[in-house]
């Protein structure tokens, strides 16, 4: 479950990005994130743990500097022991925003999961800390994380493997690079295991900005696929063999573009104003 919001506090925004976002001054996604974090007063903690590339954190620090964010720190977290580092924890305690880069989401869950860093991110978000993640970072945001799976449009038993995520929200299951890598089937498969959640398939250079009241607004050049299984009438997931197609009925699907909105509480979609 997400950390509880105390009386008088407001939860921070949660921002899954589908990967491949434009890392330039004109990026509507990163500009909006920096604005939420305080603009020139922003203190952004960059977590490149998912990536195995040495320069990933530096590239995002340069981007945030170009966008005139106040200050950015790279948290070099490569092991669970690094999550006990006092300097790292102090940076998180004073941050106004956290940005998790892409890479392998299992590195995030196995290195950060259950550590003081993860606990500070969860409690910080409940006090107003804004947390964004791109690609693997986006997948890790929710309580249920798609760890890996295959492409394809048809849901199948075993197509998606789930693991625990950071748990900033239990309302969504997120899949990234969605349209580009043909991941409709694996998101549907994940939702068949847990029809409570709403599925968010986030295209590249696209973000779902989830506000403190669980309203989503879409930013970026691609689309957000929203899958609502709340009225699921029938699922054969428990009855089919591994790798076999799954029958699902009465699922609602929306495709939203920039400016489109979705209410995760009432499960209603609104297109962008024309």
Which residues are annotated as catalytic?
135, 177, 204
Q: What are phi and psi of 198, to 5 degrees?
A: -95, 135
Three-state SS annotation for the chain: CCCCCCCCCCCCCEEEECCCCCCCCCCHHHHHHHHHHCHHHCEEEEECCCCCCCCHHHHHHHHHHHCCCCEEEECCCCCHHHHHCHHHHHHHHHCCEEEECCCCHHHHHHHHCCCHHHHHHHHHHHCCCEEEEECHHHHCCECEEEEEECCCCCCECCCEEEEECCCCECCEEEECCCCCCCCHHHHHHHHHHCCCCEEEEECCCEEEEECCCCEEEEEECCCEEEEECCCCCEECCCCCCCCCECCEECCEEEEECCCCEEECCCCEEECCCC
Cα 80 to Cα 151: distance, rounded to the nearest angstrom: 31
Cα 9 to Cα 81: distance, rounded to the nearest angstrom: 31
Q: What are phi and psi of 17, to 5 degrees?
A: -115, 135
Instruction: Confirm if 98 and 130 have CB atoms less than 8 A apart.
Output: yes
């Amino acid at each position: 479950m997400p950390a509880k919001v105390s009386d008088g506090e407001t939860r921070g925004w949660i921002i899954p990005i589908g990967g491949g976002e434009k890392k330039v001054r004109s990026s509507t996604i990163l500009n909006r994130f920096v604005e939420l974090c305080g603009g020139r007063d922003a203190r952004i903690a960059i977590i490149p743990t998912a990536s195995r590339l040495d320069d990933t954190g530096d590239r995002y620090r340069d981007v945030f500097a170009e966008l005139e964010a106040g200050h950015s720190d790279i948290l070099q977290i490569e092991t669970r022991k690094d999550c006990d580092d006092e300097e790292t924890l102090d940076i998180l305690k004073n941050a106004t925003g956290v940005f998790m880069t892409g890479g392998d989401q299992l590195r995030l869950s196995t290195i950060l999961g259950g550590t003081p860093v993860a606990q500070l991110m969860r409690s910080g978000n409940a006090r107003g800390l804004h947390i964004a993640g791109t690609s693997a970072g986006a997948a890790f945001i929710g309580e249920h994380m798609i760890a890996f799976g295959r492409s394809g449009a048809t849901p199948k038993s075993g197509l998606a493997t789930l693991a625990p995520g950071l748990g900033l929200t239990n309302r969504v299951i997120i899949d990234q690079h969605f349209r580009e890598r043909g991941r409709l089937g694996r998101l549907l498969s994940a939702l068949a295991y847990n029809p409570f959640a709403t599925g968010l398939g986030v295209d590249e250079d696209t973000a779902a900005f989830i506000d403190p009241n669980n309203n989503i607004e879409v930013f970026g050049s691609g689309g957000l696929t929203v899958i609502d299984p709340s009225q699921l009438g029938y699922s054969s997931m428990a009855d089919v063999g591994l790798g076999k197609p799954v029958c699902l009925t009465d699922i609602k699907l929306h495709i939203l573009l920039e400016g489109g909105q979705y209410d995760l509480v009432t499960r209603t979609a609104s297109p962008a104003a024309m």
